[in-house]
């Protein structure tokens, strides 16, 4: 950090808690049978319940409870055997009932945690999850499409969400970024949401305050909203931190308020003033009985959780003996990890498989935007290709060309190798003929090599490979050259 002007940011530390809203992957809404399909014509996915017509009653969606509970268990949270749906009262045009059904004093789950890294002294950076509760989403106001008139789309009203609230345990924008990326990864592992940030399936609000380093008392916090990427969250926190430091340094007082992040300008601006939670006049929703989950039901869900990222990383370290970096890349997504393991089990050499997936496979996924579960090369066909390289049937260079064709056509590697004339030549007679031709053409270099200029070996190997159109088996070419040199 430079000395000028940053005295303030060295003196102060950032204290951040995050509220993450995650849309659950259900077919229907939280309290009615309307579809949750994104991108339908406005107000297509509505019914008397989510339009709040008089006399309609909510019925809780069991699938949503199951997904929310899985998310809570993955975070190591205590799932309550009884939780209560409450009405959060406020007026806004996108909220037809005049209240949102949420959970307040008895949420679905409390006291989870996420470990996001290690401090310099080796202790874990543990972020506590205060609570995880279920709630319904609101609709969407549209202000910019109808010549100054506002419109309302209630397709999203009633879509199931979980809100995951962390303690103010984060101390930098980088920690906030790590927390969000690891949380997203964990939720992808338990498959409770499509986590699509562009479609609003994962939304983040940040509470941020500052205090002098070494102080334990919390400062006045502001809430920053409207960030639609993780890097946006990091930039917004930096901007708000600098703003608060500026206020305190000039003798002012931070005002508790809600701010909106403006990504284009890189600044925050005030939204409406922050209401305290008492203004929502929460009370238990009389239309919904308490949500009761049995100990056995929760236990069954816990037993059925898939292997989580930490456990997978540990197992990959033991079973595949890869570097920490390789393991991070391969376990970033559960589907990549699954693909890797399928190829590795079929082929046998984990390191070779890891290199191919981190190189060739991820490059194609990045280029095409395809998800791995729609990748055209099946794991066992990739394993066959790697077997062919190991057995000397094709060179590594030829294998890359074959792989490129497999991606296009989905053909088997042996079929492509034969049609394209890429099979490696290991035939002694043919190889000897190529070697002799090269040595005849480069007789003076050959004499220098035999006189001790050993670095020329690569020149001869390269020339033979070129003469063979890349098909000569380089191992055997090396052996033949060694024999010629000693003969």
Residues in contact with Zn ion by CB under 5 A are 32, 34, 47, 49-50
- Say if CB 49 and CB 58 are below 8 A apart: yes
Q: Where are the beta strands (DSSP E) in 38-81?
A: 78-79
Judged by beta carbon, residue 44 or residue 466, the one nearer Zn ion is 44
Smallest distance, Zn ion to C-beta of residue 48, A: 7
| Backbone angles phi and psi of 217, in degrees to 5 | -75, 140
Smallest distance, Zn ion to C-beta of residue 56, A: 9
**Which residue do the tokens 């497999």 mark?**
406
Between the CA of residue 399 and those of 157, 233, 292, 386, 390, what are the distances in Å? 52, 42, 57, 8, 11
Question: Tokens representing 342?
Answer: 């399928």
SS3 433: helix
Judged by beta carbon, residue 45 or residue 331, the one nearer Zn ion is 45
Of residues 14, 3, 7, the one with CA closest to residue 238: 14
Q: How many residues does the chain have?
A: 487
Judged by beta carbon, residue 47 or residue 407, the one nearer Zn ion is 47
Judged by beta carbon, residue 47 or residue 195, the one nearer Zn ion is 47
Question: Tokens representing 268?
Answer: 């925050």
Smallest distance, Zn ion to C-beta of residue 134, A: 17
Judged by beta carbon, residue 159 or residue 480, the one nearer Zn ion is 159
Phi and psi based region of residue 53 (left: phi greater than 0; alpha: psi -120 to 50; beta: remaining): beta
Judged by beta carbon, residue 49 or residue 417, the one nearer Zn ion is 49
Distance CA 172, CA 237 (A): 8
Distance CA 62, CA 297 (A): 12
Smallest distance, Zn ion to C-beta of residue 46, A: 5
Smallest distance, Zn ion to C-beta of residue 50, A: 3
User: Hey, how many other C-beta atoms are within 10 angstroms of the C-beta on 279?
Assistant: 11
For residue 442, how far is the Cα from the chain centroid?
Answer: 55
Phi and psi based region of residue 191 (left: phi greater than 0; alpha: psi -120 to 50; beta: remaining): left
| Backbone angles phi and psi of 169, in degrees to 5 | -100, -5
| Backbone angles phi and psi of 219, in degrees to 5 | -85, 180
The answer for residues whose C-beta is within 8 angstroms of residue 357's C-beta and 6 or more apart is 330, 336, 339, 340, 343
Cα–Cα–Cα angle for 175, 177, 181, rounded to 5 degrees: 120
Smallest distance, Zn ion to C-beta of residue 375, A: 37
Smallest distance, Zn ion to C-beta of residue 32, A: 3
Smallest distance, Zn ion to C-beta of residue 335, A: 32
Please give the full DSSP string across 216-259, using - where no structure is assigned: -S----EEEEEE-SHHHHHHHHHHHHHHHHHHHHTT--PPP-EE
Judged by beta carbon, residue 47 or residue 142, the one nearer Zn ion is 47
Judged by beta carbon, residue 50 or residue 435, the one nearer Zn ion is 50
Judged by beta carbon, residue 34 or residue 161, the one nearer Zn ion is 34
User: Hey, how many other C-beta atoms are within 10 angstroms of the C-beta on 312?
Assistant: 19
SS3 425: strand
Smallest distance, Zn ion to C-beta of residue 40, A: 12
Judged by beta carbon, residue 32 or residue 464, the one nearer Zn ion is 32
Judged by beta carbon, residue 65 or residue 353, the one nearer Zn ion is 65
Q: Would you give the DSSP letter of residue 313?
A: H
Smallest distance, Zn ion to C-beta of residue 22, A: 20
Smallest distance, Zn ion to C-beta of residue 202, A: 23
């Amino acid at each position: 950090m430079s000395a000028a002007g940053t005295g303030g940011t060295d003196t102060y530390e950032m204290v951040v808690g995050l509220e993450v809203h995650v849309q659950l992957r259900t077919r229907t809404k939280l309290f009615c049978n309307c579809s949750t399909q994104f991108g339908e014509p406005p107000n297509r996915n509505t019914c008397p319940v989510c339009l709040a017509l008089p006399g309609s009653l909510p019925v809780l969606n069991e699938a949503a409870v199951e997904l929310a509970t899985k998310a809570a268990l993955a975070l190591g949270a205590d799932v309550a055997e009884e939780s209560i749906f409450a009405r959060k009262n406020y007026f806004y045009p996108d909220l037809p009932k005049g209240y949102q059904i949420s959970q307040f004093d008895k949420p679905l789950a409390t006291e989870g945690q996420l470990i996001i890294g290690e401090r310099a002294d080796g202790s874990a950076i543990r972020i506590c999850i205060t609570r995880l509760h279920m709630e319904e989403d609101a609709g969407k106001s549209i202000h910019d499409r109808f010549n100054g008139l506002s419109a309302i789309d209630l397709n999203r009203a009633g879509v199931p969400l979980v809100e995951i609230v962390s303690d103010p345990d984060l101390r930098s924008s980088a920690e906030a970024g790590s927390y969000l990326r690891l949380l997203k990864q964990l939720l992808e592992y338990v498959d409770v949401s499509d986590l699509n940030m562009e479609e609003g399936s994962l939304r983040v609000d940040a509470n941020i305050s500052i205090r002098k380093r070494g102080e334990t008392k919390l400062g006045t916090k502001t809430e920053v909203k409207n960030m639609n990427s993780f890097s946006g969250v990091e930039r917004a926190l930096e901007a708000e931190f600098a703003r608060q430091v500026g206020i305190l340094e000039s003798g002012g007082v931070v005002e508790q308020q809600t701010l909106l992040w403006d990504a284009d300008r890189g600044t925050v601006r005030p939204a409406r003033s922050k209401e305290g939670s008492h203004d929502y006049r929460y009370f238990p929703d009389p239309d919904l009985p308490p949500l009761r989950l049995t100990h056995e039901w929760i236990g069954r869900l816990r037993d059925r959780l898939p292997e989580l990222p930490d456990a997978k990383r540990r197992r990959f370290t033991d079973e595949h003996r890869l570097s920490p970096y390789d393991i991070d890349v391969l376990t970033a997504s559960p589907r990549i990890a699954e693909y890797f393991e399928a190829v590795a089990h079929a082929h046998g050499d984990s390191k070779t498989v890891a290199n191919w997936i981190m190189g060739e496979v991820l490059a194609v996924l990045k280029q095409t935007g395809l998800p791995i579960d729609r990748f055209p090369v099946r794991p066992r066909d990739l394993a066959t290709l790697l077997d062919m390289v190991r057995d000397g049937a094709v060179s590594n260079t030829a294998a890359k060309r074959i792989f490129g064709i497999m991606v296009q056509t989905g053909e088997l590697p042996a079929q492509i190798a034969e049609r394209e004339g890429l099979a490696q030549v290991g035939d002694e007679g043919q190889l000897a003929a190529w070697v002799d031709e090269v040595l005849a053409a480069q007789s003076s270099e050959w004499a220098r090599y035999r006189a001790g200029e050993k670095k020329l070996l690569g020149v001869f190997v390269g020339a033979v490979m070129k003469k063979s159109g890349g098909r000569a088996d380089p191992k055997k070419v090396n052996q033949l050259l060694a024999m010629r040199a000693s003969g």
